């Protein structure tokens, strides 16, 4: 990558758009960010993060890269005229669930496209992003997009676009499931008498320590789980109960529902 400034426009300054903007701002890349959003409160929130915002993308804008972070329903309803993208020839990355590369190509009239499924941890450069490129995108644009998302955390490239629906369930939704589990740990801690601060420390430090152990050891997660499950001990009682309630099956089935919703969004349902 050259050292020149990369001009990035983020259309949609909601949860995902602002996470990307913050992560880019904190990254080591030399980036100039403009966030576009009709909502004044969202724009003000971005301004407090020292990110330049506009209500509409000006005509004839020529940034190096555009990231579409609006709801898929909003994209389906809008015309490219609304987006002011008619003259733009650079790469467009969509982080929208459900919207296929073919639909993006037809509407935006370009093959310089990538679908990306990031998550909110991009805000602290610890994100995970799955990328799926249009077959006709240039190598130069692929390198630029990979550099942008690598600056926000880890990336994987998916050749089979249909996997984006399960990536949406897994990666986009990932922080929600982990937060849900964390909330359950805290709920239990508080129910047994810990105050909120202690409950928060216990849950979050346990997660942090465990994810570090998992990422530094080369063993599968259940190997670590089994190390804690001393026969006739305490943890095994909880895991046996989870198994009897088929908790893992419930989680897998929940993710399937999330994937199904991504497919539905693509159909405009
Ligand atoms: N949240 C996540 O963790 C996550 C993860 C992966 C992918 N995504 C994808 O990211 C996209 C955004 O999700 P989100 O959670 O960030 O939604 P969100 O918080 O509702 O933000 C979307 C923002 O886009 C704005 N917007 C709508 N139409 C626009 C337009 N034509 N031009 C500019 N801005 C426009 C909305 O403004 P109004 O509210 O005024 O309409 C809103 O501020 C979705 O497509 C989602 O599938 C999200």
One-character DSSP codes across 95-129: --SS--HHHHHHHHT-S-EEEEE--GGGGGT-EEE
Q: Is the dihedral of CA 219, 151, 18, 73 positive or negative?
A: negative
- Give the rounded percent of residues in the chain with a pLDDT score beyond 90: 90
Whether residue 55 has its Cβ less than 6 Å from ligand 1: no
Whether residue 97 has its Cβ less than 6 Å from ligand 1: yes
- Quote the pLDDT of residue 60: 81
Model pLDDT for residues 191-223, shown as the tens digit of each residue: 999 999 999 999 999 999 999 999 999 889 999
Q: Residue 249 C-alpha to ligand 1 middle, in angstroms?
A: 31
- Quote the pLDDT of residue 3: 54
Q: What are the domain boundaries of the chain?
A: 6-172, 176-266
Ligand 1 atom, smallest distance to 14 CA = 21
Phi and psi at residue 61, in whole multiples of 5°?
Answer: -70, 140
Model pLDDT for residues 73-107, shown as the tens digit of each residue: 999 988 777 677 777 899 999 999 999 999 999 99
- Give the helix/strand (H/E) hosting 93: strand 92-94
Is it the case that residue 2 has pLDDT exceeding 70?
Answer: no
Whether residue 173 has its Cβ less than 6 Å from ligand 1: no
- Buried-state track 212-228, b at ≥16 Cβ within 10 A, e below 16: eeeeeeeeeeeeeeeee
In the three-class reduction of DSSP (H, G, I as helix; E, B as strand; rest coil), residue 257 is classed as helix
Average pLDDT over every residue of 243-265 = 98
- Buried-state track 51-73, b at ≥16 Cβ within 10 A, e below 16: bebeeebeeebebbbbbbbbebe
Q: Residue 145 C-alpha to ligand 1 middle, in angstroms?
A: 20
Q: Residue 131 C-alpha to ligand 1 middle, in angstroms?
A: 18
Model pLDDT for residues 18-57, shown as the tens digit of each residue: 999 999 999 999 999 999 999 999 999 999 999 999 999 8
* Partner residues linked to 94 by β-bridges: 68, 115
Is it the case that residue 1 has pLDDT exceeding 50?
Answer: no
Mean residue pLDDT of the chain comes to 95
DSSP 8-state assignment for residue 58:
P
> Among all chains, which residue has been given the structure tokens 């990422």?
215
What tokens appear for 211 in the block? 């994810």
**What is the rounded distance in angstroms from the CA atom of residue 33 to the CA atom of residue 263?**
31
Model pLDDT for residues 127-145, shown as the tens digit of each residue: 999 999 999 999 999 999 9
- Quote the pLDDT of residue 80: 72
State the architecture of 176-266 in CATH terms: Orthogonal Bundle (1.10)
Ligand 1: residue of 15, 80, 165 to mutate (most ligand atoms within 8 A of CB) is 15
Residue nearest to atom 35 of ligand 1 (CA): 12
Among 51-65, 111-125, 176-190, 197-211, the least confident range: 51-65
Whether residue 13 has its Cβ less than 6 Å from ligand 1: yes
Q: Residue 244 C-alpha to ligand 1 middle, in angstroms?
A: 39
- Quote the pLDDT of residue 86: 74
Q: Residue 23 C-alpha to ligand 1 middle, in angstroms?
A: 17
Give me the CATH topology for the region 6-172. Answer: Rossmann fold (3.40.50)
Is it the case that residue 235 has pLDDT exceeding 60?
Answer: yes
């Amino acid at each position: 990558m050259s050292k020149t400034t990369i001009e990035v426009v983020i259309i949609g300054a909601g949860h995902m758009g602002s996470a990307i903007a913050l992560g880019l701002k904190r990254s080591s890349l030399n980036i100039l960010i403009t966030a576009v959003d009709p909502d004044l409160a969202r724009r003000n929130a971005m301004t407090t993060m020292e990110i330049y915002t506009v209500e509409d993308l000006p005509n004839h804008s020529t940034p190096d890269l555009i990231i579409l972070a609006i709801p898929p329903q909003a994209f389906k309803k809008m015309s490219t005229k609304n987006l002011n993208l008619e003259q733009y020839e650079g790469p467009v990355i969509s982080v929208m669930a459900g919207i296929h590369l073919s639909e993006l190509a037809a509407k935006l009239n370009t093959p310089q496209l990538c679908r990306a499924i990031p998550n909110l941890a991009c805000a602290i450069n610890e994100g995970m992003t799955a990328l799926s490129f249009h077959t006709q995108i240039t190598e130069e644009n692929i390198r630029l997009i990979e550099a942008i998302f690598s600056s926000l955390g880890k990336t994987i490239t998916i050749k089979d676009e249909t996997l984006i629906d399960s990536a949406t369930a897994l990666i986009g939704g990932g922080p929600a499931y982990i937060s849900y589990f964390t909330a359950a740990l805290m709920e239990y801690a508080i129910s047994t008498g810990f105050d909120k601060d202690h409950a928060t420390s216990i849950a979050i430090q346990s997660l942090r320590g465990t994810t570090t152990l998992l990422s530094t050891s080369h063993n599968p997660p259940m190997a670590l789980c089994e190390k804690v499950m001393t026969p006739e001990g305490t943890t095994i009682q909880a895991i046996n109960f989870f198994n009897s309630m088929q908790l893992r099956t419930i989680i897998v089935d929940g993710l399937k529902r999330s994937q199904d919703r991504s497919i539905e969004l693509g159909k405009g349902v």
